[in-house]
Structure 1
Amino acid sequence: MVLGMSLRNHKTSKKLVILVTQVSEPYLSVLRRIYDEVRVVDTLDSGDTAHLAMMKRPELGVTLTKLHCWTLTHYSKCVFMDADTMVLSNIDELFDREELSAAPDPGWPDCFNSGVFVYRPSLKTYGKLLQYCTEHGSFDGGDQGILNGFFSSWATADISKHLPFIYNLSSIAIYTYLPAFKQYGSNAKVVHFLGKTKPWSYTYDPKAKQIRGSVHEATAHPTFLQDWWTLYSSAVMPMLQKQQGDKPFQPFFGCMEGEGISSHEQAPEPQLSSQERKEKWEQGQADYMGMDSFDNIKRKLDTFLK
């Protein structure tokens, strides 16, 4: 819903299509108001527990479901976007690119990140992708391993198919190269909330316009995280509440505090050991909104200086 509204707010001229599996009312009704087409598809799951365990992301197996996007053959060209992305400006120019155009993944730049990519719907390609899944599997257990294996020449064949990082700005990567983010971050067009912790994992107070609670894997830059919740509370929530009518509404994801919306008590976060905190920092996943916030770091430094 937030992704769709962000595209609408930035005046896309393209049709918006969303693929869903099991989504109930009132969410389907709101999705139909935001998107031009809501298509129900079957869930595809790799079931590759070994590789998914290696990534510590068992939930990623079902991401193969996105392969259904190649069946949208009533369109000649599409841009696929993960649900955990948000548009920051108009990106219609991506339709000038060819299949398979994508931005490099911050973890291994010779692989593309499959959260945003340009492609051409084709039942032939869809069949080949399914066949590839059967014969080769996925090196990471999810869709990104499949797509990088199938479109294996992406890294070397044609630089025009390498999208600039601003079209898939990984929120995880920001703090791993902060000077570059300060230099180029203002040009970002799409932010991608990678990692286990999503914007809807937080609690938001719409009156104070503050994000509550701390999550150890605070992978989202606070500004982008705030923008996500501002859009959700100002544009999406009113539609959900209108759809629900007079009944008390409990958000499907995330938690909001305030009038007419159930409050939420978060379970206390387990304390990390020094080694675990160090590893989080090295991975660019420090708790920037909690224990590792600027204010806390400053207080610690002040203590040492004294």
Structure 2
Amino acid sequence: MKSMMLAAVLLGAALGVSGCATTQSPTGRGQTLLYSPAQMQQMGDASFAEMKKQQKLSSDKKLTQYVQCVASRIISQLPDQTQRWDVVLFDSEQVNAFALPGGHIGVYTGLLKVATTPDQLATVIGHEVAHVLAQHGNEQVSRGQLTNVGMQIADVALGVGGVANRNAYMAALGLGAQVGIILPFGRAQESEADIMGLELMARAGFDPSQSVVLWQNMAKVGGSQGPQFLSTHPSNEQRIVQLAQLQTQVQPLYQQASPGKNQCVLPR
């Protein structure tokens, strides 16, 4: 009886602090978002801080500057120019990258062996930033709360920070591969991130046609299972076809971009 009463109290508290918003994604798809932007930023900040403690940062200044150059061009096209972004290059053979609420981008050195041009790297960074813009992380955390109420309600009701349950939060934010928990974004979310990411990179002066080459490269890496990136970002023929079809929509944006806008050079 006491446990049932406690559960009821926690549920009421969780609903009180979170609220429930039904909105539309950038492509018009319905979304249920239980968390405020401030709460999502707290989760993103905590998860990113923990990752920087646990994983080795690259000491290659030129390579780091290159990644930051590409990321800064993408960031320059975001609607909110007041948000500061932290861009970090991790020293790891993982073929992976991510972006988090709160303005955080992580890229692994292994990705640069597959994304071999600035345009291809911009494809990945644009895609990851698009997940944040479209609030896909909020969707994932909200879905986890609705389907696995116990832990999530306790966390929200008791005001527990993101670090205390970083595995759950990081998985919900699309970082499951980093902590051994796979919780991939859904097909609709991936398609939205593809569309938005292509538009971002095109406006930033990166050639969106290289997105097709990038995903073809991804499909060739790591044998039958592919690189780590594909565990949460499935690559298949249908996706490549969709990217090719989107070129007529995004190439005009690329052509309109200022000449010389993309001046990032991969160190050799």
- The TM-score bracket by the shorter chain reads under 0.3
Pair member with larger Rg? 1
Q: TM-score, normalised by structure 2?
A: 0.27
Structure number with the higher helix fraction is: 2
Length-normalised TM-score, structure 1: 0.25
The structure carrying a bigger strand percent of its residues is 1
